[in-house]
Amino acid sequence: MMERIPILRMGNYLLVTIQVDMHDKLALTLQDDLTTRISEVNAKGVLIDISSLEIVDSFIGRTLANIASMARVLDAHTVVVGMQPAVAITLVELGMSLPGIRTALNVESGMEYLRETVTSHQESDDDGDSTED
Amino acid sequence: MSDLLSAIQQNRESILKDWLQNLKSAVQRRDLIGERELDSQASDMLTAIAEAPAGTSLKDFNSPGWQTVKSMLASLSASRAVQGFSPSETALFVLSLKPSLFSVARKQRGGDADGLYADTLMVNDFIDKLSLHTTDSYIHGRDQVIARQQEEMLELSTPVVTLWDGIVALPLIGTLDSARTQVVMESLLQAIVQTNSRFAIIDITGVPTVDTLVAQHLLKTITAARLMGAECILSGIRPQIAQTIVHLGINLEDVITKSKLSDAFRLALERSGRKVVRMDKPGIAGASMQRGA
């Protein structure tokens, strides 16, 4: 049985909590699973909690950025929350400022951001041709 | 060779007296060290030399027999460094032993010119090595003092203050170098996590110069804070520094900059949905007017 990171659904949002050390294969599996789930449940927001992640390398950083871009293509906003100071310093030293990723301090403020952006986008969608039931 | 050592042993009293006389005429730092302390230090040192284990030769400075002398001298020099002696004053302590040992050798050898020459060379070499050792230890002691002071300065110079619930500020004072910026970066990020702050204000009013390296460090700190989900505001950029930044071609366009800390604080309050208003109570207004008059 291969190791997988669980993806939880909460209404329009998907929650991912990374609680194990990420290795390259796990990151790629997460990318696969997450994109599949987003299109399955038509998710509008993705929250990735990395507060327990202590080691990060350039590959993981790039995968996170990729996941965010892929989610955006699938019409979902991504927010990465709870990055540890050491991880942030490492990423900056690696030259990865991850400009495409939204970040938040903790799950609470991350959810707040998702609610705000998703609601405002739906409102602007409603002005045009509404696809909502 | 061991003849000379045994002669030193026998004439310890007279050597000590002679040495102290030399020492006191050469070093005039009574303000830093008492006469009695100097006496006891010289006596201890001479005893350590005279009572070197059997088979230890003055020729072989690296032999384990001289370990006691060396360590005694090292701690003495280190303490002199702390007391404020100069390196030459510290080295004079052993160097002034030289004439006394020469006279012992002369007494011992009598008219034997070749033997006296050999002894003199040997003593000369030995004392020179001792004094080099003294200087090394002295410098080492100084280095430790400098390292400790640097550490203290680093600890003192990076206070992260909480301005409001969710807003922290880091007032930077003094020159920023790589080591200090690293500490600044770590303590700011740590404070952001601890206080759960969404806004961090970096105030560089007290930073005299900003070069490319400092700017790069600041940008790194700001990016790292952003990765953690906090927003950084840079404040207190003086006109000269603004000119330097533009001339150096540093791109601060992605960074929010404010001229004063108060402006940055106002922005942070605004973004977190807060506002500072003046109270309309007549009592307070009257009091402030009185103070203004």
Note the ipTM here: 0.75
Residue of B nearest to A82 (CA): B228
**Burial tier of A3 (Cβ tally within 10 Å: 0-12, 13-18, 19+):** exposed
> What local confidence, expressed as pLDDT, does residue A50 receive?
93
Better pLDDT: A77 or A126 = A77
CA nearest to A15, candidates A52, A39, A44: A44
Residue A98 is nearest to which of B189, B190, B227, comparing CB atoms? B227
Is B229–A97 a contact, with Cβ atoms under 8 angstroms apart? no
Residue B255 touches partner A, C-beta closer than 8 Å? no
Which of A105, A108, A112 has the highest number of chain B CBs within 10 A, making it the mutation to test binding with B?
A105
Looking at residues A3-31, what average pLDDT do you find?
90
| Residue ranges of domains in chain A | 7-127
pLDDT at residue A65 tops 70: yes
Give pTM, 2 decimals.
Answer: 0.62
Whether A31 shows a pLDDT value over 80: the answer reads yes
3-state secondary structure of B60: coil
Is pLDDT at A15 greater than 70 in this prediction? Answer: yes
**Is A132 a residue whose pLDDT tops 50?**
no
What pLDDT does residue A80 have?
Answer: 94
CB contact under 8 A, A84 and B193: yes
Q: Side chain identity at A66, as an amino acid letter?
A: N
From chain B, pick out residues whose CB is under 8 angstroms from the CB of A106: 196, 229
CA-based nearest residue to B168, from B182, B188, B185:
B188
Pairing mode, strands A45-49 and A77-81: parallel
Q: How do residues A76-97 score in pLDDT, each as one tens digit?
A: 999 999 999 999 999 998 888 8
Residues 90 to 119 of B: which have CB under 8 A from any A CB? Answer: none
Q: Which pLDDT tens digit goes with each residue over B88-114?
A: 888 888 888 888 888 888 888 877 888
Distance CA A41, CA A12 (A): 8
- B13 burial level (CB within 10 Å; 0-12, 13-18, 19+): exposed
Res A127: pLDDT: 56
Whether residue B271 lies within 8 A of chain A, CB to CB, comes out as no
Question: In sequence order, which residues have a C-beta less than 8 Å from that of residue B6 and are 6 or more positions away?
Answer: none
**Contacts B198 to A, Cβ<8 Å:** 105, 109
**A31: Cβ–Cβ under 8 A, 6 or more apart, which residues?**
A63, A66, A67, A70
Contacts of A85 in chain B (CB under 8 A): 186, 189-190, 192-193, 224, 228
- B227: distance to nearest CA of chain A, Å? 6
Q: What is the pLDDT of residue A67?
A: 92
Report how far residue A22's alpha carbon sits from residue B1's, in angstroms, rounded to the nearest whole number: 70
Closest partner residue to A83 (CB to CB) among B197, B198, B228 is B228
Task: Please give the average pLDDT of every successive group of 10 residues along chain B, which has 293 residues.
Answer: 73 84 74 78 84 76 82 85 82 86 84 86 88 89 87 77 92 81 87 92 88 85 92 90 86 87 93 87 56 42
Q: What pLDDT score does B293 carry?
A: 39
CATH number for the domain whose boundaries are A7-127: 3.30.750.24
Mean pLDDT of A62-74: 91
| % of chain A at pLDDT higher than 70 | 92
Beta bridge partners of A78: A46
With CB atoms and an 8 Å threshold, state whether A88 touches B198: no
CB contact under 8 Å between B227 and A88, yes or no, is: yes
Residues in chain B closer than 8 A to A82 (CB atoms): 229
Structure tokens at A126: 């409603």
Q: Say whether B229 and A105 touch across the interface (CB within 8 A).
A: yes
Render A73-128 in DSSP notation, one character per residue.
HTT-EEEEE---HHHHHHHHHTT---TT-EEESSHHHHHHHHHHHHHHHHHHHHHS
